[in-house]
Amino acid sequence: MICLYEDEKVSNFGPLVDLRAVFELRCGMRTLIEKIRRLYPKERMVLWVRKEIAEVVAERYPNLKVNVPVEGQTLFISARAILLERLALRGEECLFVSGGRIAGARLKSPIEYSEFPMINSAFKGLLEKEVKAKVVQFPWELIEYNPEELKREIGESKKGQILTRGAKVWKGAFISTESGPVFIDQKSEVRPGSFVEGPCYIGPHTIVDGALVRPGCSFGPHCRIGGEVQKSIFQGYSNKHHEGFIGHSFVGEWVNLGALTTSSDLKNNYKTVKVTIGGKKFDTGMLHLGCFIGDHAKMGIGTLLPTGAVIGTFANWFEGGFAPKELAPFSWGREEKWRQGEMVECARRMMRRRGVEMSQDYERLLLRLYQNVVGEAKPGR
């Protein structure tokens, strides 16, 4: 049995995990859970996640059990781990580490589910074994690892540098593989005037429309991409259909970036970028770093995003000048908040535009998050 588990480091990933588990974040062609399931396609797997997202996670993975006890010998794998080798399911109990970070463990005894029990209790005192893995601790590491993950995953196919699977590349579009391979997934389109540099992944039903796509980009399903994008990850279902620049950034789902929305990814003094997540400030050590945008965020036309900006879930920015470096969830401009009913209806309308009906579990999760952040529902405008 395999148990893919979240731990206390989930708080480091800010708005990107408000509505999903850490293992659902994208890096390279696939999400972290998709990578694990490809390594262990026939093994029984359970998922341990925060209680508040358990219903939505169970809905997304109907064939997997969520937050149930594990029985017998179990291979625990961190939700933050990108395994570069297959860990043995059976053997002596041990703690798997990579570069001082915990990638998982192997235990023989049954364990009951509880939130974040791992490092502090169940894994204590185990013999450490170094393994080949990347264990992500902060969201900017996903951006940093993305080009190499793209090269590794696309390269596994061994079918050439430009791979298309039921996709359409229009005449007048240019694909360059000088800096890495390109995978264009099923029912996606690269339209005339587009220039795409590898390594790059273009997910199912995504449209690249006259865009300049620099190396190191991953676009999940049902995105609309225009303007210029460099070394960025779009989780999926998000729109950047117009001119403007997004670089070294992570964009969640159901995000709409208005025309000319532009992120800064380099400070004028060439110092490393600092990011604030959950009230804690981190020096990322990175010279180039753009923004992190939570699900359902909306940026009005001409929005300017500062270096290292963190935009909360369902934040709506439409005021002039630079947006704040930190924009709280459910913000309506600088001072106001979304009205609860309008927020839900807006999400429902946008999701229907991509053929997705909001489930009751997803709506409940949105409302819980809203109430935790805003408090009681605000009356309509």
DSSP structural state of residue 86 = P
**Residue 31: burial class (beta carbons within 10 Å; 0-12, 13-18, 19+):** buried
Query: Is residue 207 within 8 Å of 184, Cβ to Cβ?
Result: no
**Which amino acid appears at position 250 of this protein?**
F
Query: Is residue 19 within 8 Å of 313, Cβ to Cβ?
Result: yes
DSSP code per residue over 326-342 = EE-TTEETTTEE--HHH
pLDDT at 99: 94
pLDDT at 159: 56
pLDDT at 117: 57
Instruction: Mention every residue, 6+ apart, whose C-beta is less than 8 A from residue 132.
Output: 83, 84, 85, 98
**Residue 313: burial class (beta carbons within 10 Å; 0-12, 13-18, 19+):** buried
Q: How many other β-carbons are positioned within 10 Å of the β-carbon of residue 278?
A: 11
Nearest to 291 by CA among 175, 105, 167, 139: 139
What stretch of H or E contains 94?
strand 94-98
Tell me the sheet residues that pair with 317. Answer: 299
Residues 18, 21, 25, 31, CA torsion sign:
negative
- Phi, then psi, of 43 in degrees rounded to 5: -90, 145
pLDDT at 320: 79
By residue count, the chain amounts to 381
Tokens of 152: 């590794």
In the chain, which residue ranges form alpha helices assigned H by DSSP? 32-39, 54-60, 139-155, 340-353, 360-373
What 3-state DSSP class applies to 37? Answer: helix
48-53 contacts, C-beta under 8 A, 24 or more apart: 48/3, 48/4, 48/5, 48/6, 48/113, 49/5, 49/6, 49/21, 49/79, 50/6, 50/10, 50/21, 50/115, 51/115, 52/365, 52/368, 53/19, 53/20, 53/21, 53/365
Task: State the 10-residue block means of pLDDT for the chain, 381 residues long.
Answer: 94 97 98 97 95 97 95 94 96 95 92 71 89 98 98 77 87 94 96 97 97 98 98 98 97 97 96 95 97 98 97 95 94 95 96 96 97 76 48
**Residue 149: burial class (beta carbons within 10 Å; 0-12, 13-18, 19+):** buried
User: Model's pTM, two decimal places?
Assistant: 0.95
Strands 274-277 and 280-283: antiparallel
Query: Is residue 377 within 8 Å of 337, Cβ to Cβ?
Result: no
